[in-house]
């Protein structure tokens, strides 16, 4: 186990989540993947156990968990069900712009129902024509009296259409590039807000990913986060802090795949002995374990940097997400190979783990963007 510095209370929380994930989450994982239906029971379970409250300060109804504890919680959930782990990761993602830039009134209004799990959160940055290139967004927000009028759409939004609270980014000044992007809190019941297509995905199938459409959507001016033009900065600060959570999701998937491969290799007999006796299998398992543990160290390290409020953690956040997601794809692929024909069948969870792992290389910044962030930090 990688070095970590949780206090006793948080250690107890993680041990409880580990047990909960094994007893309650694991038995649901295959069905969630098979039906593709949003797991409301898992959302309620995480809410009832105060797991969704982890990212929120105590003064807003949360439990004020450290970032290290949050990534460890995501890891334990993802070890059995990536979709369930995403409930916690996206609750943090959607709420972080409010935590970072919200005024006291905004925090008092929106954070308590998010901490309790009564409300869900979403983060709306990506559009059909602007993914990695956030400056290419086309959603516009025009101030009219005490309201902003939003027109445009967002694409690939996790919790889209389910979240009551959406941290949304739109252009308020098209002449100044990223400095013309602003951030807003948009409730799903605001006039002019609607949901477009629901995506049919390769993995994390129980998580709803949707298009959000804004047609003269009325947003109170008081729901502007920070000042006009702060949006791009708020979005990047948010992603720096939440990418370790996606790395933790990838880590959990990889650990689950390693667990499966080790167990199967001890039980599967070929040529009169368990395949675990074969050096070729042993070396595969060893390489898988090294990738998993290296990813864990990177993720725990940057989580503690965030907890210490260090300034220069952006590069390490990208490193952790990049390495862990690449490791998850490699480890899940090797797990399928260890299981052979059974690995390719839905009877075993290896193929689901591989499908789920793929998205961790894409969302919250593709791994190509992570390499760009790392290179720029090195070269400045």
Query: What gap in Å lies between CA 63 and CA 55, rounded to an integer?
Result: 7
* Residue count of the chain: 380
Residues with catalytic function: 364
Q: 3-class SS at 276? A: helix
Q: Which of 29, 366, 332, 361 is CA-nearest to residue 205?
A: 29
Which DSSP letter does residue 142 get?
A: E
d(CA 11, CA 15): 6
The set of residues, in sequence order, having a beta carbon less than 8 Å from that of 15 and lying 6+ positions away, is none
Q: What is the spatial distance between Cα 14 and Cα 22, in angstroms, rounded to a whole number? A: 12
At residue 197's C-alpha, the angle toward residues 91 and 159, to 5°, is 5
* Contact (Cβ atoms closer than 8 angstroms) between residue 161 and residue 120: no
- Collect all residues with Cβ–Cβ distance below 8 Å to 214 and sequence separation of at least 6: 139, 150, 151, 152, 153, 186, 192, 193, 194
Please tell me whether residue 224 adopts helix, strand or coil conformation. strand
SS3 34: helix
| CB-based contact 11:17 (threshold 8 Å) | no
């Amino acid at each position: 186990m990688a070095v970590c510095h949780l206090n006793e209370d948080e250690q107890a929380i993680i041990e409880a989540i580990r047990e909960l994930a094994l007893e309650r989450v694991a038995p649901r994982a295959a069905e969630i993947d098979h039906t593709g239906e949003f797991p409301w029971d898992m959302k309620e379970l995480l809410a009832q156990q105060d797991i969704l409250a982890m990212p929120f300060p105590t003064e807003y109804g949360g439990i004020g968990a450290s970032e290290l504890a949050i990534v460890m919680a995501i890891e334990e959930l993802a070890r059995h069900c990536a979709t369930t782990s995403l409930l916690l990761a996206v609750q943090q993602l959607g709420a972080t712009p409010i935590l970072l830039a919200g005024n006291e009134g905004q925090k008092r209004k929106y954070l308590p129902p998010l901490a309790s799990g009564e409300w869900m959160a979403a983060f709306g940055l990506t559009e059909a024509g602007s993914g990695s290139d956030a400056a290419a967004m086309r959603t516009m927000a025009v101030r009219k009296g005490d309201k902003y009028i939003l027109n445009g759409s967002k694409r690939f939004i996790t919790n889209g259409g389910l979240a009551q609270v959406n941290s949304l980014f739109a252009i308020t000044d098209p002449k100044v590039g990223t400095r013309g992007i602003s951030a807003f809190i948009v409730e799903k019941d605001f006039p002019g807000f609607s949901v477009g297509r629901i995506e049919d995905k390769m993995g994390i199938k129980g998580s709803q990913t949707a298009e959000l459409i804004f047609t003269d959507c009325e947003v109170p001016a008081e729901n502007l986060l920070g000042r006009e033009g702060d949006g791009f900065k708020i979005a990047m600060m948010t992603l720096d802090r939440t990418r370790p959570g996606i790395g933790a999701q990838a880590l959990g998937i990889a650990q689950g795949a390693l667990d499966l491969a080790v167990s199967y290799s001890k039980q599967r007999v070929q040529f009169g002995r368990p395949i675990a006796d074969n050096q070729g299998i042993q070396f595969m398992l060893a390489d898988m374990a090294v990738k998993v543990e290296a990813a864990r160290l990177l993720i725990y390290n940057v989580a503690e940097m965030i907890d210490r409020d260090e300034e220069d953690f952006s590069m390490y956040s990208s490193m952790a997400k990049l390495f862990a997601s690449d490791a998850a794809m490699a480890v899940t692929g090797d797990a399928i190979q260890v299981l052979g024909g059974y690995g390719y069948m839905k009877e075993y969870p290896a193929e689901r783990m591989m499908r789920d792992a793929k998205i961790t290389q894409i969302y919250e910044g593709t791994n190509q963007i992570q390499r760009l962030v790392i290179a720029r930090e090195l070269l400045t």
